[in-house]
Structure 1
Amino acid sequence: MDAYAIVEELRKWRDYLIGHHFKLITDQRSVKFMFDSKSNSKIKNEKIARWRVELSYFHYDIVYRPGTENIPADALSRICGATTSDKLRELHEILCHSGISCMMHFVRGRNLPYAVEVVKKITTFCQVCLELKPRFFKYSGQLIKATQPFERLNLDFKGPVPSQSRNKYFLTVVDGFSRGPSFISEDLKDFLMKKDVATSRTTPYNLKGNGQAEKYNGILWKTLTLALKTRNLDVSQWETVLPDALHSIHSLLCTSTNSTPHERLFLSSRRSTTGQSLPTWLIQGGRALLRRHVRHSKNM
């Protein structure tokens, strides 16, 4: 974070610093090593190497000063870090409090300038996630895998749930290939019979017999409660956040398939419920910061 703050501030004040010799003072030894132009050590991290190239046209000396000797706080890095954290926290809430793996997949897929450590910090210490995300015991077993979309469907009901309308039950249908749940009409049985689709039933209250649908019932309800908590809404208003919850589930990474349900089914990324693929603060005009995640060698 301190290194990124230095890069951002030099970019901002570039017109005033070019052609002048100046001094950079940091309380991080690692940052001094990274940006020391007099050091001939090889940098194997691609991002740091790009930063050093970008800073190579500045004429500066970087000095290490321990934090105990810094009387005024390093306000520039603190402000930059706070702004970055606020934006990432907002994105985390928009995506209905997704986990670390899903957040990193979303960030990297859109080249957003957030490091893994920052994503982990925001996700791990989110108060809503700590309060509402349960810790499940993982059962060991073998899952029958589908080889193409709609080859194997898992269905389950959840309810009754508190509601302000007559809708008090979920009908969850999970495609075994894309892992995407969706809602379908009550004429399912007649439709399946007309299409010569074979069906089978599981034993009531046997969670292992219909694991995918049972799991997604929990995922869907957890996502709804997280979205409700963020907006300070009562649980009976779950229908107001249902589109955002389903968008979050369909658009974020499924670690079992290593892709999002929407991408696996339609081979394309999914836009948000407002028709946009990114939050408004990321699509407004201004400088766009991209992060390159491809390494061509172990040194660069």
Structure 2
Amino acid sequence: MDPSKVEAILSWPAPTNATEVKSFHGLCSFYRKFIGNFSGICAPLIDTIKGGRKCLFVWTNEASRSFETLKRKIAEIPTFGLLDFHKVFVVECDSSNRAIGGVLSQEGRPVAFFTENSNEAKQKYSTYDLELYAMVQALRKWRHYLPPKEFIVFTDNHALSFLNRQEKLHHRHVKWMEFLQYYTFTIKHKKGVANKVADALSRRSLTIQEVQLESAGIHTIKDMYATDDDFKEIYKGKGQTSNVGLYTPLPIPSKPWDLVSMDFVLGLPRTKFGYDSVYVVVDRFSKMAHFIPCKTTHDASHVVGLFFKEVVRLHGLPMSIISDRDPRFIGHFWRTLWKKLGTNVALSSAYHPQSDGQTEVINRSLGNLLRCLTQEYDSSWDSILAQAEFSYNDSINRSTGMTPFQVVYGVRPRGIMELRDVSHLEKKSALAEDFAKVMKDVHDQVRNRLHHTTEKYKAPIDKKRRDLQFQVGDLVMVHLKKERFPKEKYTKLMMKKLGPCKILKKCGNNAHQVDLPSSIGLSPIFNVADLYPYKGSIDDVFVAGEQRLQHDESLKEISQPSTLEIESILDKRVTKQTRRKVYYEYLVKWKHQPLEEATWMSKEAIEKAGF
């Protein structure tokens, strides 16, 4: 055992009063399950603090031998766990006015201790600064163990849990934050009474008691609900997302910009040009993305204009478009236009963002890029959106192993600061006699890499899932998530499951169209994780507080989001006013859709929709 790892324990001075004895005993109690005959060894220490405050503290020879034995037991190899870099490291740190301390552990077994005395200058730090300093020093002490993978940091200062959200930094924190950026970790709050070892190393004045209550067989009560006469009806209405449905990746395109996905990043600060969102378009083959500034009030016709201006003029028309069920993407104008152009429109299942996970990931990456580039000037993000797009497209993608620029153009363009070496691919592309052959090799290489990556992701995910297939006509119970309902319509007392409902259509292996009552007003497309096989009689189940579900022909014709029709005009507002004319936008209520799905549209868009 490396002596430096347990120096904090071995150099612990002999206690001089009852409080220091309690502090040391509390530290040892945390590891009592690793120390044989712990109670017998501690008995002389306990004798020194018996009698309370009125009795005189006397440090005996037996107590001294017990003190040294406990220090030696904690530092022995059987107590310390062996390092395993495949397991998660846990760092616990704490501070006091006189010292800071920490412990590095894995699966509850300590790996190393750390403590450091505070000088006069650091003793004047605030509590927040001391706790942050303790964290920095602990990570610096064990920096050779921690950087390769993510780890967890426990602290009893709750404010440190929001460390990464600080908008302004104290000059003392700047260098510490710069140092912490080297690591990947999660900060979790731990109450002071639970942060035992680190608190004892820093304060040496803590009494610890642990009480754990276990009741054998209590976990079996959950299985009895389904058959109990008093609870079985309530249990039928309880719903949650199940871990069913194998990972079904989208088909891999054969060339760039044949299959694209699109989404919006909303809620950004409004710029001086009025932009408050970003229209994100991603090529699923090369992973190239275009970030287009836009406004939340833009309707489908404006979005189409942006797509032709920024994407079609560079890459041509795609064969297929994948998107979520944004009102702009399910309107009559959008679907009719792409049908006439020969482009297939594929919509994700309602409230199932995993269908287009690639665009969701890129949206998070874009947020991180803008956060780094704008700093405190967050209202000018549209001026640096071009730099963010170039930076993203010039970065190596983990799935393809190349940058999007290399996949589409065959070369990496020069940046503002060109410091990298020219790769083998760039030399080959520049000197090849047949450029088309080089590009074909690149595309074949990317396609094979995407196949390999897809299989690599699919295998571990499917191990944790089970395959569940439904056929047309099967009866199922539908799990209704809170997110599907408008805020004013959802209550906590609503049934979590609805049914039995009939499967009308299979939209793939994991998505199904369900025969919902027309009064529900929800999208009938559900992921298999929200469907449960119905095993009872149709007379046993009521439909969400309404009448029993009648399986007649009137419920089979469900209005689809793809054929939305305007029901009425709810309101209007002025968007622009000149000397000669006033321009309005109208709030449109769609048929068979909740009021929250109402959309602001211009007069021209309403006329195109045939209203």
Per the shorter chain, which TM-score range? Answer: 0.3 to 0.5
| Structure in which a larger fraction of residues adopt strand | 2
Q: TM-score, normalised by structure 1?
A: 0.43
| Structure in which a larger fraction of residues adopt helix | 1
Q: TM-score, normalised by structure 2?
A: 0.22
Larger Rg: 1 or 2? 2
